[in-house]
Amino acid sequence: MKHRIVVLGAGYAGAFAAGNLARRLSPADTEITVVNAVPDFVERMRLHQLAIGHDVAFRKLADVFAGTGVRLRLARVTGVDPERRTVAVTGEDGDGELAYDTLLYTLGSSVAHHGVPGVAEYAFDVTGRSSALRLRERLAGLGEGGTVLVVGEGLTGLETATEFAESRPDLSVALAARGEPGAWLSPKARRHLRQAFDRLGITVHEHTCIEAVEPTRAIAADGTAIPADVIVWSAGFAVHPIAAASGLEVAETGQIVVDRTMRSVSHPDVYAAGDCAYAIGENGRPLPMSCASAGFTNMQATAAIIARLTGSQVPTVGLKYHGNHISLGRRDAIFQMVDEDVRSKDWYLGGRTAAWLKSGILKGSGWSIAHPTFGMPKRRRRLVTAPDRAGAKVAA
């Protein structure tokens, strides 16, 4: 019987991982299934562009995996039973269950409301395609002089505010930040960021903690009301509670606790990658939720799965966070390198060159997803043992 590998989620981590597994493992021994709730690959790093009205093409996952041997199951994951090694799903065909021998959990993250009253009811976000399209429709209805408040000074907040201000100069865009926007950047990069805000006419509310959201305004901790026709919430990310509910060991964040090879510390036939993995980097700190971390962790997870199933030594993939790429509209950006302690180095790259670099990274990521089995070898690796359906582990 074939070894059943199930990949949950087809985002940056899951889609690439599924293709890599198909590229490296023999189809005579393995059966790879990807479960995803929507039929398209969603480039999350472009969703703020989609929201403001730009055309963003979405690749059909059926086309992405065509000819690779990867099976696509369009369904929403509703539960995981790691003891029985099954995944519960629901989709157009109703409820169902998938059995696995190896599970790769890459369900990603969504917007974190942090329990702030009114966020779920009145705020918009750009963490998913449906929410970005909902925001797109709302922004399209705003006339000249409309006001937009972006809450959150992280990468998503900075990119959203600058993209909106550049693309819609008829709108009044503001940013609410708990501290100083870009406080982690080097002094020169922070100055570049402030100049970009000034150039784009973005109003910055520094040291402003939003504690409530209402239909047409946000309320700060000091009671100040900031009026806005549209409030975009970008104050962090949260993972789905499915992992915690399944009995897998998770961190306080709800992320699956994994070892150095991205293997669950509580269930060795489960691996995790991307935002939902609580992975410790080479500096001894948890990797941040980011596309870069998704790349490193999915490469480590797939390398470990392949090695263990084929009886090879598990290789070590570098788990370093190298820096931030921050788009400031389409013609400006900041590329900030960091050291081993995630402290910004003095050197940074800004302006059109940095924007060109960021654009290249986005295109490269999209290309790698569109060609998941590029360079597929003629001879793929065979498994050393057959799976034990009674519950024995295939490889140690």
**HEC letters along 190-215:** HHHHHHHHHHHCCEEECCCCEEEEEC
- Closest residue by Cα to residue 153 from 225, 71, 210: 210
- Closest residue by Cα to residue 105 from 234, 1, 280, 249: 249
pLDDT score of 275 more than 70: yes
Q: What is the pLDDT of residue 390?
A: 44
How far is residue 22's CA from residue 378's CA, in Å, rounded to a whole number? Answer: 12
pLDDT (tens digit, 9 = 90+) per residue, 294-326? 888 999 999 999 999 999 999 988 887 777 889
Q: What is the pLDDT of residue 368?
A: 79
Least trusted range by pLDDT, from 128-137, 170-179, 370-379: 370-379
What pairs with residue 192 in β-bridges? none
Mean pLDDT of the chain: 91
- Closest residue by Cα to residue 153 from 259, 233, 87: 233
How far is residue 243's CA from residue 202's CA, in Å, rounded to a whole number? Answer: 39
Q: What is the mean pLDDT of residues 206-214?
A: 97
Output 373 or 299, whichever has higher pLDDT. Answer: 299
pLDDT (tens digit, 9 = 90+) per residue, 136-155? 999 999 999 999 999 999 99
pLDDT score of 190 more than 60: yes
Q: What is the pLDDT of residue 57?
A: 85
The confidence band for 52, taking pLDDT boundaries of 50, 70 and 90, is very high
pLDDT score of 39 more than 70: yes
pLDDT score of 387 more than 70: no
**pTM above threshold 0.85:** yes
pLDDT score of 283 more than 80: yes
Overall size of the chain counted in residues: 396
Longest dimension (CA), the chain: 66
The confidence band for 379, taking pLDDT boundaries of 50, 70 and 90, is low
User: Residue 264 gets which letter from DSSP?
Assistant: B
The confidence band for 181, taking pLDDT boundaries of 50, 70 and 90, is very high
How far is residue 286's CA from residue 300's CA, in Å, rounded to a whole number? Answer: 15
- Closest residue by Cα to residue 277 from 254, 307, 246, 295: 254
Q: What is the mean pLDDT of residues 239-263?
A: 96
User: Taking a C-beta distance cutoff of 8 angstroms, is the pair 250, 143 a contact?
Assistant: no
Residue type, 83: E
pLDDT (tens digit, 9 = 90+) per residue, 72-126? 999 999 999 999 999 999 998 889 999 999 999 999 999 999 999 999 999 999 9
Q: In what order do the strands lie in the sheet with 333-338?
A: 323-327, 333-338, 344-350
Output 390 or 320, whichever has higher pLDDT. Answer: 320
The confidence band for 393, taking pLDDT boundaries of 50, 70 and 90, is very low
pLDDT score of 48 more than 50: yes
User: Percentage of the chain surpassing pLDDT 70?
Assistant: 94
- Tell me the H-state helices in 201-346: 242-246, 291-310
User: Percentage of the chain surpassing pLDDT 90?
Assistant: 75
Output 244 or 374, whichever has higher pLDDT. Answer: 244
pLDDT score of 166 more than 80: yes
Q: What is the pLDDT of residue 289?
A: 86
Q: How far is CA 381 from CA 252, 262, 319, 353, 388, in A?
A: 38, 21, 25, 42, 19
Q: What is the pLDDT of residue 294?
A: 83
How far is residue 2's CA from residue 386's CA, in Å, rounded to a whole number? Answer: 7
pLDDT score of 232 more than 60: yes
pLDDT score of 395 more than 70: no
User: Taking a C-beta distance cutoff of 8 angstroms, is the pair 348, 187 a contact?
Assistant: no
Question: Which residue pairs from 199-204 have beta carbons closer than 8 angstroms and sit at least 24 positions apart in sequence?
Answer: 200/162, 200/165, 200/166, 200/173, 200/328, 200/329, 201/165, 201/169, 201/172, 201/173, 202/161, 202/162, 202/165, 202/173, 202/174, 202/175, 203/172, 203/173, 203/174, 203/175, 204/174, 204/175, 204/177
